[in-house]
Amino acid sequence: MEDVSLDLIKKYNVQGPRYTSYPTAVQFQKADEEDIASLYSYLLERNADPHPISLYFHIPFCFSLCWYCGCTKVITKDQDRGDLYLDYLEKEMDQVAEMLHPDSEVVQIHFGGGTPTFLKPDQLQRLGKAIHRRFNLTDETEFGVEIDPRKCTREHIETLADIGCNRASLGVQDTNEDVQKAIHRIQPFEQTKQVTKWLRENGIDSINFDLIYGLPLQTLKTFRQTIDDVLSLQPDRLAVYSYAHIPSMMPAQKLLNEEDMPTTDEKLSMLQLSISYLTDNGYRFIGMDHFSREDEELTKAMENGTLQRNFQGYSTLAGADLYAFGMSGISNVGDYYWQNTKELGEYYSQLDNNKRPVAKVLQLCKDDKLRHRVIMQVMCKMGLSFDEIEEKWGIVFEDYFSNSLERLSELQADGFVEVSENKITITERGRLFLRNIAMCFDKYSNRKKSTRSFSKTV
Residues in binding site? 56, 62, 66, 68-70, 113-115, 146, 173, 185, 210, 244, 330
Contacts of 47 (CB under 8 A, 6+ apart): 99, 100, 101, 104
**φ/ψ (deg, to 5) at 375:** -65, -40
User: What is the three-state SS of the chain?
Assistant: CCCCCHHHHHHCCCECCCCCCCCCHHHCEECCHHHHHHHHHHHHHHCCCCCCEEEEEEECEECCCCCCCCCCCEECCCCCHHHHHHHHHHHHHHHHHCCCCCCCEEEEEEEEECCHHHCCHHHHHHHHHHHHHHCEEEEEEEEEEEECHHHCCHHHHHHHHHCCCCEEEEEEECCCHHHHHHCCCCCCHHHHHHHHHHHHHCCCCEEEEEEEECCCCCCHHHHHHHHHHHHCCCCCEEEEEECCCCCCCCHHHHHCCHHHCCCHHHHHHHHHHHHHHHHHCCEEEEECCEEEECCCHHHHHHHHCCCEEECCEEECCCCCEEEEECCCCEEEECCEEEEECCCHHHHHHHHHCCCCCEEEEEECCHHHHHHHHHHHHHHHHCEEEHHHHHHHHCCCHHHHCHHHHHHHHHHHHCCCEEECCCEEEECCHHHHHHHHHHHCCCCCCCCHHHHCCCCECC
Residue type (1 letter), 130: A
Annotated binding-site residues for S-adenosyl-L-methionine read: 56, 68-70, 113-115, 146, 173, 185, 210, 244, 330
Cβ-Cβ contacts under 8 Å for 159 (sequence gap 6 or more): 121, 122, 124, 125, 128
Residue numbering of the annotated binding site for [4Fe-4S] cluster: 62, 66, 69
